[in-house]
Amino acid sequence: MPLTRPRAVTHYENFPVASWLCPPRLRAPIQAIYHFARTADDLADEGEAPAWQRLQDLAAYRQDLAAVAQGQNHGGRWPQVFDPLAAQMRAFALPEAPLADLLSAFAQDVRKTRAGAAYADWPELLDYCHRSANPVGRLLLHLYGVREEAALHQSDHICTALQLINFWQDLSVDIPRGRYYLPLAECAAHGLPMTAAAPVGFAALQADDRLAAVMAACVEQTRARMLQGAALVHRVPGRAGWELRAVVQGALRVLDKVAALGPAVLRQRPALGARDGLPVAWRMLWM
């Protein structure tokens, strides 16, 4: 079902890229959305291009999206993306706005990383999640024919939680890359004052009691959001509902590992292993 933050080879780790649980008729549109997002993520993240070039490429990519959404020809630079996407937008009446929101988030990643900037508080971070994660959940619900407002809000909670879990899971990877997702206000509340441009402050973080308190607060906020959305599994039909159960419970299991590590996530990236399969399956059955 919904996704986590896109990145390199592991783009959309929880994205159901035409898995066996996905209805065959929806595999093509899901693949088209995935490759649209993955290619845009590569433009923002991969290679050695300077920030200005990345932003220019993303702007051209946005123009191609607008063209195909209006039934016009795209620019021809990314035919492997926009030819299938155009076909699926026509076939399933896929809306343009959520796809455009994803591009807005990718561009923000470029600007934030270039500036070595952090997120000031929870509202700013959640606004980013609103554009970087929530759109794919809404697109998938569109494909499954789930349109109720309550379901859309539940999807937003799940997608935002997935994004946040990805942030806390990847602190040891993101901080050295100049990506800072711990909200500055949360840090300050627990005795870790930072500035808005915080490369030095985050690079100097220590795995101490102050960071332990920050991580505990982040885990609590994230778990609450996931649980707010979890009832969506009963609204999504058929096998997709079971896939969503797996996404939710797998993510909560990762969050448990983040909580257990606490401030040690600065040095270690928690991940699921073979031993987690049975507990996740058990939780799925009991949802």
Amino acid at 246: A
At 210-240, the pLDDT tens digits run 999 999 999 999 999 999 999 999 999 888 8
C-alpha to C-alpha distance for 144 and 92, rounded to whole angstroms: 10
Do 52 and 145 sit in the same domain of this protein? no
Is residue 5 in a domain? no
DSSP string covering 113-174: HHHTBB--SHHHHHHHHHHHTHHHHHHHHHHHT---HHHHHHHHHHHHHHHHHHHHHTHHHH
In the chain, the largest separation of any two C-alpha atoms, in whole Å, equals: 57
Asked if 30 and 94 touch (Cβ cutoff 8 Å), the reply is no
Do 121 and 100 sit in the same domain of this protein? no
Q: Which residue among 115, 148, 169 closes a domain? A: 115
Of 237, 239, 220, which is closest to residue 228 (Cα–Cα)? Answer: 220
According to the model, what pLDDT value does residue 1 have?
Answer: 45
C-alpha to C-alpha distance for 203 and 159, rounded to whole angstroms: 28
* Beta-sheet strands, E only, within 19-114: none
Is residue 143 in a domain? yes
Q: Which long-range contacts (CB under 8 A, 24 or more apart) does 238-242 make?
A: 238/23, 239/21, 239/22, 239/23, 240/1, 240/16, 240/21, 240/22, 240/23, 240/144, 242/21, 242/284
According to the model, what pLDDT value does residue 13 have?
Answer: 46
The domain in which residue 59 lies consists of 22-115
At 10-45, the pLDDT tens digits run 444 444 444 556 778 898 999 999 999 999 999 998
Do 190 and 69 sit in the same domain of this protein? no
**Phi and psi at residue 39, to the nearest 5°:** -65, -40
Q: Which residue among 93, 115, 137 closes a domain? A: 115
Is residue 27 in a domain? yes
How many structural domains does the chain have?
A: 2
Query: How much helix, strand and coil, in percent to the nearest 5, is found in the chain?
Result: 70, 0, 30
According to the model, what pLDDT value does residue 12 have?
Answer: 43
Which parts of the chain have pLDDT scores under 70?
1-21, 114-116, 195-200
Q: Which residue among 88, 115, 142 closes a domain? A: 115
**Phi and psi at residue 221, to the nearest 5°:** -60, -40
Is residue 126 in a domain? yes
Do 180 and 257 sit in the same domain of this protein? yes
